[in-house]
Amino acid sequence: MADNSGIKILKYYSKKLKIFFFSKDLLSFLLFLVLSASFWFVNTLDKDKETQIILPIKYTGIPQNIGFSKHLPATLTLNLKDKGLKFITYYSHNFLPLEIDLSGKFLSRGSIEITQEYLKSKVIAHLLPSSVLQGVSPSSFSTYYEQLSERELTVGFVSQIVLAPQYMLSNNIHISPNKIKVYGPKNVIDTMQFVPTEFTKLDHLSDSATLQCKLKYYKHLRYQTDKVQIEVPVEQYTERTVRMPISIINCPSNIFIRTFPAYVNVTYSVGLSRFNSVSPKSLNVVIDYNDIQQTNYAKQKLKVVNNNKFISNFRMLPQEVEFLLEKK
């Protein structure tokens, strides 16, 4: 009985709450509350206000071979006075950064100065006509610069590539551009062999990949471009087995070497797209006479000389053969 009584009480108060929240009086109250808040907000925005705006700076006209002793400021802090509604424009993404053109300022004296008058005039021209500029920080700035050494270097792809089973590189990895100009202190760039990319790991790769890679950052260096395009060609491979004769290299003209057997089976991997175009003639199975001289064994291990970059993973059967030296 007590449980039924509690349920009845809950239903009663639930009904009362529904009547209260969905009554016309409450809806009218909420409507007037929203309207009042809107009028108050618009009235507040229509009054003069003072605030600080962070204005980003974009520098143009800087030659690649110019280095600064200290960084130029990336932003300006503006103290502005205007109608509150106007500040929405400054906070929106449509407010473009202030562009400062440094063309023609790199003279033999080795320093640049942005004066207070120049900076103030640039900022005022960038603001809305109704805005009053009350202060700029920094109000002016200067820096020293020097001409950097220049050298063209190849780009090196620093990576770890793990191919999926039954897949191989079908060609050389292509880097574009593969050479770039590097600017920096002469004693630094003269020691560089290449420009490395940031480390990239490609795992379980089963298809060709094209990606943008950033060049590795060095504090005192500048690059012609900060990223390169990398193309990693990948395709599925198959195996092919061919019967090949054994050749002798570095053998004196008065000696003849006879091997037993004279032919071996060579199995290698080749991409599907090149299965018919790659000729086994680019392979040679050899015995080096110099190795025989060093070992004097009755058996000699075979070597594969490969002149084709599109085939790999060689296996020979047998891997070593018996031989007989005969004088001519």
First to last CA, the chain: 122
130 and 171 fall within a common domain: no
Q: Which two tokens stand for residue 99?
A: 């562009």
pLDDT of residue 190: 93
Q: Is residue 284 part of a domain?
A: yes
Neighbours of 59 (CB within 10 A): 14
Contacts of 55 (CB under 8 A, 6+ apart): 75, 76, 77, 78, 97, 98, 123, 126
The number of angstroms, rounded, from the C-alpha of 228 to the middle of its chain's C-alpha atoms is 8
Q: How many domains does the chain have?
A: 3
Q: Does the structure show a pLDDT above 80 at 14?
A: no
Choose one of 203, 232, 261: the last residue of a domain: 232
126 belongs to a structural domain: yes
CA distance 47 to 85: 8
Pairing of strands 311-317, 320-327: unpaired
Mean pLDDT of 241-267: 91
Please state, in angstroms and as integers, the Cα–Cα distance from residue 305 to each residue in 111, 260, 317, 319, 325, following that order. 61, 20, 16, 14, 22
Contact by Cβ (8 Å): 144, 69: yes
Domain boundary among 129, 147, 165: 147
- Averaged pLDDT, 3-23: 58
168 inside domain: yes
Which range has highest mean pLDDT (157-166, 282-291, 313-322)?
157-166
Half-sphere exposure of 8 (CA within 13 A, CB side): 5
Domain boundary among 232, 260, 282: 232
Least confident piece of the model among 174-183, 209-218, 276-285: 276-285
Q: Assess whether 164 and 200 both reside in one domain.
A: yes
Please tell me whether the peptide bond between 63 and the residue prior to it is cis, using omega within 30 degrees of 0.
no
Those residues whose C-beta lies under 8 Å from the C-beta of residue 265, and which sit 6 or more positions away, are 241, 242, 243, 244, 316, 317
Are residues 161 and 172 located together in one domain of the fold?
yes
Average pLDDT over residues 254-280: 88
Q: Are residues 267 and 189 in the same domain?
A: no
The share of the chain scoring above pLDDT 90, in percent, equals: 45
Burial of 158 (0-12, 13-18, 19+ CB in 10 A): middle
pLDDT given for residue 219 in this prediction? 84
Task: Check if the beta carbon of residue 81 is closer than 8 Å to that of residue 55.
Answer: no
Same domain, 119 and 132: yes
* Interval 226-235: pLDDT, tens: 999 999 999 9
For 4-44, give the DSSP string. Answer: HHHHHHHHHHHHHHHHHHTSHHHHHHHHHHHHHHHHHHHHH
Window from 23-37, 43-57, 154-168 with minimum mean pLDDT: 23-37
**Same structural domain, 135 and 160:** no
Q: Enter the tokens of residue 223.
A: 């690059």
**Distance (Å, rounded) from C-alpha 115 to C-alpha 146?**
20
The 3-state DSSP class for residue 60 equals strand
177 within some domain:
yes
143 in the same domain as 64? yes
pLDDT at 261 over 90: yes
Task: Output the domain CATH number for residue 218.
Answer: 2.170.120.40
236 pLDDT more than 90: yes
Please indicate, yes or no, if residue 62 is contained in any of the structural domains: yes
Q: Is the pTM value of this prediction over 0.75?
A: no
Range with lowest mean pLDDT among 81-85, 112-116, 239-243, 281-285: 81-85
pLDDT band at 120 (very low <50, low <70, confident <90, very high): very high
The pLDDT assigned to 70 comes to: 82
Do 227 and 272 belong to one domain? Answer: no
Domain membership of residue 162 (yes or no) is: yes
* Confidence category of residue 17, pLDDT binned at 50, 70, 90: low
Rounded Cα–Cα distance for residues 17 and 35 (Å): 25
Regarding whether 137 and 167 lie in a shared domain, the answer is: no
Q: Find out whether 100 and 115 touch, Cβ atoms under 8 Å.
A: no
Domain-located, residue 296: yes
What are phi and psi for residue 104, nearest 5 degrees?
A: 80, 0
Whether residues 316 and 262 fall in one domain: yes
pLDDT at 277: 81
Identity of residue 48? D
- Domain membership of residue 111 as a residue range: 48-147
- Same domain for 195 and 213? yes
Percent of the chain whose predicted confidence (pLDDT) is above 70: 82
Per 3-state DSSP, the chain is made up of helix, strand and coil in percentages (nearest 5) of 25, 45, 30
More confident position, 133 or 90: 133
pLDDT for 180-210, tens place per residue? Answer: 999 998 999 999 999 999 999 999 999 999 9
Q: Supply 75's token pair.
A: 């932003």
pLDDT-derived band at 157, boundaries 50, 70, 90: very high
| Cβ-proximal residues to 111 (8 Å cutoff; 6+ apart), any chain | 142, 143, 144, 145
> For position 318, which CATH number holds?
2.170.120.30
Q: pLDDT averaged over the chain? A: 84
The answer to whether position 258 is within a domain reads yes
Range scoring the smallest mean pLDDT among 3-12, 94-103, 144-153, 259-268: 3-12
Asked whether the beta carbons of 175 and 206 are under 8 A apart, the reply is no
pLDDT at 46: 57
pLDDT of residue 1: 47
In the prediction, which pLDDT does 226 show? 92
Q: Is the domain of 139 the same as that of 63?
A: yes
